[in-house]
Amino acid sequence: MNILVINAGSSSLKYQLFDMETETVLAKGLCERIGLDGHLKHTPLGNGKPVFDEDVALKDHSVAIQAVIDKLVSEEYGVVGSMAEIDAVGHRVVHGGESFNESTLITDEVLKAIEDCIPLAPLHNPANITGIKACQEVMGPDVPQIAVFDTAFHQTMPEKAFMYPIPYEYYREDKIRRYGFHGTSHRYVAARAAELIGKPAEELKLISCHMGNGSSICAVDGGKSVDTSMGFTPLAGLPMGTRCGDIDAGIMEYIMNKYDMGIGEMMTVLNKKSGMVGISERSSDFRDLIDASAEGSHKSGLALDMFCYDVAKTIGSYVVALGGVDAIIFTAGVGENSRPVRNGVCKYLSAIGADMDPEKNSACKGECDIATDDSKVRLWVIPTNEELVIARDTKAIAEK
Ligand code: AMP
């Protein structure tokens, strides 16, 4: 069975085609500047065919999907014989609100429910819906389309973890609560950690740290999310590349009054100009900050220190929430690749019985346990694979 995984943004569309017999990626690619002019990079994998990387007119998402399928089946760049060899499509959908606690076959009702979640994710859900409709249009009604939600994994959080201490009516009327994001990633690495540790997920208490451009931490008890650091929106929790994370809401009033700033401008400051780039006044990229800090930049070092301190504090609070922890997992761009950041976080963790082995941390490539042999808590680095989770869910639902 071949599964196409689609991650549609407002002007971009990422894709991977999986052969699910072997769970291998046959081809992957990216459409950019959809609706503007258009560019397609298509990479066939493992069959020796060349990469296609050119400007292509992409006036909308339907044209983009058609261009992707044309490449997937083409003589020169293709990996399958015809569109009929694509058995189902899995779509990443950012927000499923309280309606979806698992992946689901997209029907008209489901599409309507995803549309109802637009106010909760005004930037992401419309783009995801556009991608779904484009696939339906190009591939027809016989190819099952499945939605996999970033929020679904966190729907198991208890009320005490997802409610905000603001008037209850905002939950009742407006569904304002913690939803959490990166659910597909946390779910993948938590399940993978259980496999690597060799114990059933039901018996493990895990803390998953997804540290990338956007970052979140998730407490996983017996395979279920019980708390997470992102909130009603992905602005909450840790300081990130350009996002502030948790701050005192009173700061907004003070800045807006003092600088005569509207809410739109304030949100741009908090979403785009804060976090690592805001503190360092240099870059949102952790690599740049590590280099600058090594060259003596105080503010770059401070941004990194603030990030590591907040990750460690959040881990500490989740140890309490879980009543202990068996393993802590590092994943995503920074978690998988940055030894200095893992080091910066782990230096706080001996207080909870987690001791990092610096040599294992330095030598780590791919999946590895970087804890010392006698550390009570294991420290796993596990590369995330959200696309594979989407493909697996899509296969399971399409087979039904
Ligand atoms: P993601 O959002 O998961 O794609 O992660 C992107 C971020 O990972 C980038 O902004 C970088 O800051 C970070 N990153 C990627 N590779 C490295 C590396 N080798 N060392 C430090 N940070 C890295």
Task: Answer yes or no: do 215 and 111 share one domain.
Answer: no
Phi, psi of 50 (to 5 degrees): -75, 160
d(CA 374, CA 377): 9
Q: Is residue 30 assigned to a domain?
A: yes
Task: Answer yes or no: do 133 and 219 share one domain.
Answer: no
Task: Report the pLDDT value the prediction gives residue 113, as an integer from 0 to 100.
Answer: 97
Please choose, from the candidates 271, 13, 3, the residue with its C-alpha nearest in 3D space to the C-alpha of residue 128. Answer: 13
CA 2 to ligand 1 center in whole angstroms = 30
Residue nearest to atom 8 of ligand 1 (CA): 333
Question: Is the minimum distance from the CB of 286 to ligand 1 under 6 angstroms?
Answer: yes
Range from 28-37, 121-130, 178-187, 218-227 carrying the lowest mean pLDDT: 121-130
Task: Answer yes or no: do 144 and 238 share one domain.
Answer: no
Q: What is the pLDDT of residues 68-100, one digit of tens each?
A: 999 999 999 999 999 999 999 999 999 999 999
CA-286 nearest atom, ligand 1: 12
User: Sign of dihedral through CA atoms 236, 238, 244, 248?
Assistant: positive
Task: Answer yes or no: do 98 and 237 share one domain.
Answer: no
DSSP assignments along 195-255, one per residue: HHHTS-GGG-EEEEEEESSSEEEEEEETTEEEEES--SSTTSSS--SS---S--THHHHHH
Residue nearest to atom 23 of ligand 1 (CA): 334
Catalytic residue among 37, 108, 150, 221: 150
Question: Is the minimum distance from the CB of 213 to ligand 1 under 6 angstroms?
Answer: yes
3-class DSSP state for residue 164?
coil
Answer yes or no: 248 catalytic.
no
d(CA 196, CA 215): 23
Q: Is residue 168 assigned to a domain?
A: no
Average pLDDT, the chain: 97
Please choose, from the candidates 86, 36, 48, 71, the residue with its C-alpha nearest in 3D space to the C-alpha of residue 398. Answer: 86
Q: Mean pLDDT throughout 265-283?
A: 97
> Which of the four pLDDT bands, split at 50, 70 and 90, describes residue 4?
very high
Q: Is residue 88 assigned to a domain?
A: yes
Q: Is residue 259 assigned to a domain?
A: yes
Question: Is the minimum distance from the CB of 241 to ligand 1 under 6 angstroms?
Answer: yes
Task: Answer yes or no: do 145 and 7 share one domain.
Answer: yes
Task: Answer yes or no: do 240 and 109 share one domain.
Answer: no
Q: What interhelical angle do 298-322 and 286-294 show, nearest 10?
A: 120
Whether 123 shows a pLDDT value over 90: the answer reads: no
Question: Which residues have CB under 8 Å from 289's CB, separation 6+?
Answer: 276, 280, 282, 283, 297, 300, 301, 303, 304
DSSP H or E segment with residue 147: strand 145-149
286: containing domain: 198-381
Two tokens, residue 272: 């785009």
d(CA 68, CA 7): 13
d(CA 187, CA 218): 9
Q: Is residue 27 assigned to a domain?
A: yes
Task: Answer yes or no: do 144 and 239 share one domain.
Answer: no
**What percentage of residues in the chain have a pLDDT greater than 70?**
100
Q: Is residue 182 assigned to a domain?
A: no
Q: Is residue 156 assigned to a domain?
A: no
Task: Answer yes or no: do 227 and 358 share one domain.
Answer: yes
* Residue in 338, 361, 387 to alter for ligand 1 test, most ligand atoms within 8 A of Cβ: 338
Q: What is the pLDDT of residues 347-388, one digit of tens each?
A: 999 999 999 999 999 999 999 999 999 999 999 999 999 999
Please give the biggest Cα pair distance in the chain. 63
Q: Is residue 57 assigned to a domain?
A: yes
Residue nearest to atom 17 of ligand 1 (CA): 337
Task: Answer yes or no: do 36 and 96 share one domain.
Answer: yes
Question: Is the minimum distance from the CB of 332 to ligand 1 under 6 angstroms?
Answer: yes
Task: Report the pLDDT value the prediction gives residue 125, as an integer from 0 to 100.
Answer: 94
Phi, psi of 373 (to 5 degrees): -60, -35
Q: What is the pLDDT of residues 289-309, one digit of tens each?
A: 999 999 999 999 999 999 999
> Which of the four pLDDT bands, split at 50, 70 and 90, describes residue 277?
very high
Q: Is 236 exposed, middle or buried, given 0-12, 13-18 or 19+ CB atoms closer than 10 A? A: buried
Task: Answer yes or no: do 121 and 235 share one domain.
Answer: no
Task: Report the pLDDT value the prediction gives residue 27, as an integer from 0 to 100.
Answer: 98
Question: Is the minimum distance from the CB of 70 to ligand 1 under 6 angstroms?
Answer: no
d(CA 219, CA 326): 11
Task: Answer yes or no: do 214 and 363 share one domain.
Answer: yes
CA 209 to ligand 1 center in whole angstroms = 14
Q: What is the pLDDT of residues 166-214, one digit of tens each?
A: 999 999 999 999 999 999 999 999 999 999 999 999 999 999 999 999 9
Torsion of CA 8, 10, 11, 16, to 10 degrees: -10
Whether 283 shows a pLDDT value over 90: the answer reads: yes
Among residues 131, 149, 167, which one ends one of the domains? 149
Question: DSSP state, 26?
Answer: E
Among residues 91, 120, 149, which one ends one of the domains? 149
Q: Mean pLDDT throughout 20-41?
A: 97
CATH of the domain at 108: 3.30.420.40
How many domains, in total, are found in the chain? 2
